A = this chain, B = another copy of it.
Amino acid sequence: MVNYDFYMDIAISKAWEFQALTLPNPSVGALILDSNNAIVALSAHEVFGGCHAELSAIKSAFIYFNRNRDIETITNPFEIYDYLIKNHNGCFYNTKIFVTLEPCAHSGKTPSCAALLSELKPSEVIISHRDVNKFASGGIEILKSSGIKVTYGILENKGRDLLYPFLCICNQASFTIYKIAQRLNGSFENGIISSRNSMIYSHQMRSIADNIIISQKTVLDDNPLLDSRLVCGRAPNVIVVGRKNRLHNGLNIFKANRKVSFVSNLDDISISGFNIIEGGSTLFDAIKDRIDCLLVFLSPNMQQGRNFVSDFNGRIIHSMRIGKDVVLWIQKD
């Protein structure tokens, strides 16, 4: 039952667990089948600068094949690469490697995955989406020229949805999400809504975001910290939107080491990098045309209270469970 869609789907789902957390790198997943078609590794690119998905999966499979954990203690991607080149002994010759994105041809913060694969010589590399980054693309040609069978376009639409945040960064130098935490009936005020696991994921995202954009009303009413304390990460810069600047130094947003700016006109915000907008229905209505994604943390409860009242049409590009919530990634239609 070697169905390429089936295995690619597993690799894509794995990658989504770390969506946006790898920016400005893409989210990527990889899965390896041994010569008998047993799954021997499943990995994702988890953090910018860390191992690419292919390298992580190859490392896991190497440990499994060789019952040798020496490589486990190596964390530097270039050292892992060197170790594998020296020690692989052909153990990948009859494997199939599924990757959600064309392996990179480029050596930068991490070594070139295509170059590694062309040494390890799996029998086939199966790819969902071709690379679109001119610095990193060309991987398929490297693989083919070293005699490896390459199949691409498997679940390509799902592969493109996975890449969407990265594609926004590539094409417009920014990726902007509007984050909503709400209950099942749409109410979004009064009390804690999301589970702790959802908050940890939010803080992970904040720790790599360039800016949080928020209304002055929320800053004054709720006095939020807007940091990433749950993951001990850095605090993103804050752009506060309001009519007249009423911010004062006693507010919690000034406690972290970061830039806080104020704009009275949304058009004055020059959106660049990775931006998270946190707000209610009014801010959403004003800024919805400038967002790339809606990220909804939905808790399975109902409580009376205001809900969003905009007109909006979207497309779910992924849904996942986090803690007791469901998280929906929704691309604007």
A interface residues (Cβ-Cβ under 8 A, vs B): 1-2, 6, 33-34, 36-42, 60, 64, 184-187, 294, 296, 298, 300-304, 307-316, 319, 321, 324-326, 328, 330
Chain B residues, CB < 8 A from A41: 1
Contact across chains for A301 and B316 when beta carbons are under 8 A apart: no
Chain B residues, CB < 8 A from A301: 312-314
Contact across chains for A186 and B307 when beta carbons are under 8 A apart: yes
Contact across chains for B186 and A184 when beta carbons are under 8 A apart: yes
Q: How far does the Cβ of A47 sit from chain B's closest Cβ, in whole Å?
A: 22
When all copies of this chain in the complex are counted, the total is 2
Chain B residues, CB < 8 A from A6: 39
Chain B residues, CB < 8 A from A185: 186, 307-310, 312
Contact across chains for A326 and B324 when beta carbons are under 8 A apart: no
The CA of A2 and the CA of B34, in the complex, are separated in Å by 12
Q: How far does the Cβ of A65 sit from chain B's closest Cβ, in whole Å?
A: 11
Residue of B at shortest CB range from A36? B36
The CA of A307 and the CA of B308, in the complex, are separated in Å by 10
| Known contacts A37-B36, A42-B1, A186-B186; A326 and B321 CB within 8 A of each other | no
The CA of A189 and the CA of B325, in the complex, are separated in Å by 25
Chain B residues, CB < 8 A from A307: 185-187, 307
Chain B residues, CB < 8 A from A326: 316, 319, 326, 328
Chain B residues, CB < 8 A from A37: 36, 38-39
Chain B residues, CB < 8 A from A309: 185, 302, 304
| Known contacts A38-B37, A40-B1, A184-B296; A311 and B302 CB within 8 A of each other | yes
Contact across chains for A316 and B302 when beta carbons are under 8 A apart: no
The CA of A184 and the CA of B311, in the complex, are separated in Å by 11
Contact across chains for B324 and A316 when beta carbons are under 8 A apart: yes
Chain B residues, CB < 8 A from A304: 309, 311
Give 10 CB contacts A-B under 8 Å: A33-B38, A184-B296, A300-B316, A300-B328, A301-B314, A302-B308, A304-B309, A316-B321, A316-B324, A326-B326
Q: How far does the Cβ of A7 sit from chain B's closest Cβ, in whole Å?
A: 9
The CA of A307 and the CA of B309, in the complex, are separated in Å by 10
Contact across chains for B300 and A314 when beta carbons are under 8 A apart: yes
Chain B residues, CB < 8 A from A1: 38-42, 60, 64
The CA of A319 and the CA of B327, in the complex, are separated in Å by 10
Q: How far does the Cβ of A188 sit from chain B's closest Cβ, in whole Å?
A: 9
A1-B40, A185-B309, A319-B319 are known; give 19 further A-B pairs, CB within 8 A: A1-B42, A36-B36, A37-B39, A38-B38, A39-B39, A184-B294, A184-B296, A184-B308, A184-B330, A185-B308, A185-B310, A185-B312, A294-B300, A298-B298, A300-B313, A300-B328, A302-B310, A302-B311, A307-B307
